[in-house]
Amino acid sequence: MKHFISIIIFTVFLPLLSIAQSEKNFIDQNYIEIIGTAETLVVPNEIYVSVTLTEKNHKKTIEEQEQLLLANLKSIGIDTDKDVSVSSFQGTYERYFLKRNEVEKLKVYQIILHDGATLSKTFMALDRLNITNAYITKVSHSEIDKLRRDTKMKSLKVAKEKAKQYAEAIDQEIGKALFIQETNPNTNFTSNNIHVRGLGSMNNYSQRTKLPEFKNLTFQKISLTATVLTRFELKTKNE
């Protein structure tokens, strides 16, 4: 019975001993530690614009403004079924002294545009309709996830190439990769301050006293960066 218990204990601890030995072997190996960084610049092809329609200080009802807005967007080539949606709608009950009670409506649209030229046409159409409460909320790219993955792979290749060059400088060579870790896995580009050439960084034109000339608007490229920490086995040549 004692022998049986001993066998069980030995069987349980054998994997732990193997793991410990493996970790020791990893630590004892000669290795080179390298950080690889890569950047991808891409022109955004998804431009999100928020447009607010309100009956306050406007001669037309929300419904009339909505019909004109959609008609004008269609006229400049925007797919209103696919790229236009209502993001918010509300009605505020107003009681006026010696006047009839009214419900003031407010409707917010999200429009997705795909290039600076269409953005220019959209802003000019909004100006013609006297709709000035509009601004760019964010920019993105239709293949942003793929671009992020590709950038990570580029950063890994950069790290490997650097490791090779460093090893060759001391007459050695690298072996297999021993360790790979993303150092900024949650890094995303930010669009809080979107720079549009022709508009500057102020994307809300509801506060402008004079409408700028919307021509040839171009966007600052989105910068995607990736960084990896790597360790490669370091060997003597022909080892």
Residue 3, in any domain of the structure: no
pLDDT for 201 equals 44
Q: How many domains does the chain have?
A: 2
Residue 234's CATH number: 3.30.110.170
Span 193-223, pLDDT tens digits:
455 554 544 455 444 444 455 566 778 888 9
Q: What is the mean pLDDT of the chain?
A: 78
- The residue written with tokens 């792979």 in the block is 153
pLDDT for 39 equals 95
Is 175 found in the same domain as 128?
no
Burial of 189 (0-12, 13-18, 19+ CB in 10 A): middle
Q: Residue 187's pLDDT band (boundaries 50, 70, 90)? A: very low
Structure token digits, residue 232: 């490669």
Is 68 found in the same domain as 34?
no
Residue 10, in any domain of the structure: no
Of residues 65 and 192, which shows the higher confidence score? Answer: 65
Is 163 found in the same domain as 49?
no
Q: How far apart are the first and last CA of the chain?
A: 49
10 Å Cβ neighbour count for 218?
14
Is 124 found in the same domain as 163?
no
Residue 59, in any domain of the structure: yes
Residue 20, in any domain of the structure: no
Distance CA 64, CA 57 (A): 14
- Which domain does 215 fall in, by range? 29-43+142-239
Structure token digits, residue 38: 């890569």
Structure token digits, residue 19: 């793991």
Q: Residue 48's pLDDT band (boundaries 50, 70, 90)? A: very high
Residue 12, in any domain of the structure: no
- Name the domain boundary from 140, 171, 199: 140
pLDDT for 213 equals 54
- Mapped onto helix, strand or coil, the DSSP state of residue 217 is coil
Is 180 found in the same domain as 91?
no
- Name the domain boundary from 99, 122, 140: 140
Asked whether residue 230 carries a pLDDT value surpassing 90, the answer given is yes
- The residue written with tokens 């407010």 in the block is 106
The pTM (predicted TM-score) of the whole model is 0.70
Span 136-158, pLDDT tens digits:
999 999 999 999 999 999 999 99
pLDDT for 4 equals 46
Is 176 found in the same domain as 121?
no
10 Å Cβ neighbour count for 142?
12
Is 158 found in the same domain as 228?
yes
Q: What percent of the chain has pLDDT over 70?
A: 67
Span 93-135, pLDDT tens digits:
444 444 555 557 889 999 999 998 899 899 999 999 988 889 9
Residue 83, in any domain of the structure: yes
Is 219 found in the same domain as 134?
no
Burial of 21 (0-12, 13-18, 19+ CB in 10 A): exposed
Of residues 1 and 56, which shows the higher confidence score? Answer: 56
φ, ψ (nearest 5 deg) of residue 96: -105, 140
Q: What percent of the chain has pLDDT over 90?
A: 51
